[in-house]
Amino acid sequence: MNKITPFLWFDHQAKEAVDFYVSIFPNAKIIDESSNSDDIQSISFELFNQRFIAFNGGPYASFSPAISMYVDCENQEEVDSYWDRLAVGGKIEQCGWLSDKYGLTWQIIPNILFDCLNHPDPIKAQKAMDAMLKMTKINVNELLDAIK
């Protein structure tokens, strides 16, 4: 069966990054490591049963926000947990976006966000949009207050 596996290119910190990601997400695991002499070359790992490959390829490629890891969160507690750990040493952006300390872009989004943005009342939907545009980390209570 064919599968699509995201391939993450790092300069030289693939192992460090994978250990970081596996420490954050529940039931995450390292599947396999391959090395070239003393250096780890690539690591296969899983987050939420999705396989990834991390590769030490040198400074020839870098991450871009054009591709991001979207984390669908059930509640504010999940948003806070993932955001607070992934943001350490990284760069915080607007509307639930951040780049971690390795440059990989993440969207940490509560699933209620799209319910608010797609509210049947267009005025309330716009209020939700206005509230979201003022946020870095998405705050569920502020979104819900905006559509009251």
Confidence of residue 32 (pLDDT cuts 50, 70, 90): very high
> Structure tokens of 9?
């290119």
Mean pLDDT (the chain, rounded): 96
Q: Read off the pLDDT of each residue in 54-73 and give the average, rounded to a whole number.
A: 95
For residue 139, pLDDT over 80 is answered with: yes
Which residues, 6+ apart, have CB-to-CB distance to 97 below 8 Å?
65, 68, 105, 106, 107
Instruction: List, in sequence order, the alpha helices (H) in 1-139.
Output: 14-24, 76-86, 112-117, 122-133
Rounded to 10°, the helix 14-24/76-86 angle is: 160
pTM for the whole structure: 0.93
- Reported as a pLDDT band with limits 50, 70 and 90, residue 81 is very high
Share of the chain above pLDDT 70, in %: 98
pLDDT confidence of 35, banded at 50, 70, 90?
A: confident
In whole angstroms, what is the distance from residue 74 CA to residue 78 CA? 7
Residue 38 has pLDDT above 90, yes or no: no
